[in-house]
């Protein structure tokens, strides 16, 4: 089975466009990885994983009717500890 979290952003977009993956499935894969690794790596101060799942469902519906951004549905991490 393919590890979604190892795909490049371009591969994710391609699979979203071909309906081979959903935004919801991508977010769930990243959520599982973060929950598994975060206790060891402490990469995030804040996560909004539950909200991301809800948004992914919305984005999947929007993509069906032609999303505005080709990157819609691809999760990102934003550094939140900058001064």
Over the stretch 22-73, which tens digit does the pLDDT of each residue have? 999 999 999 999 999 999 999 888 899 999 999 999 999 998 888 678 899 9
Q: What is the pLDDT of residue 45?
A: 87
CA torsion 5-54-77-45 (nearest 10°) is -120
The answer to whether position 59 is within a domain reads yes
The answer to whether position 36 is within a domain reads yes
The answer to whether position 8 is within a domain reads no
φ, ψ of residue 82 to 5 degrees: the values are: -85, 145
**Domain that residue 60 falls in:** 22-65
CB atoms within 10 A of CB 63: 19
19: left (phi over 0), alpha (psi -120 to 50) or beta: left
The answer to whether position 10 is within a domain reads no
pTM of the model: 0.88
The answer to whether position 3 is within a domain reads no
CB 23 within 8 A of CB 53: no
The answer to whether position 32 is within a domain reads yes
Q: What is the tally of structural domains in the chain?
A: 1
């Amino acid at each position: 089975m393919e590890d979604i979290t190892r795909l490049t952003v371009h591969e994710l977009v391609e699979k979203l466009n071909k309906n081979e993956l959903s935004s919801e499935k991508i977010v769930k894969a990243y959520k599982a990885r973060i929950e598994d690794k975060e206790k060891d790596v402490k990469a995030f101060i804040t996560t909004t994983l539950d909200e991301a799942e809800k948004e992914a469902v919305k984005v999947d519906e929007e993509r069906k009717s032609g999303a505005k951004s080709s990157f819609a549905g691809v999760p990102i991490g934003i550094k939140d500890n900058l001064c």
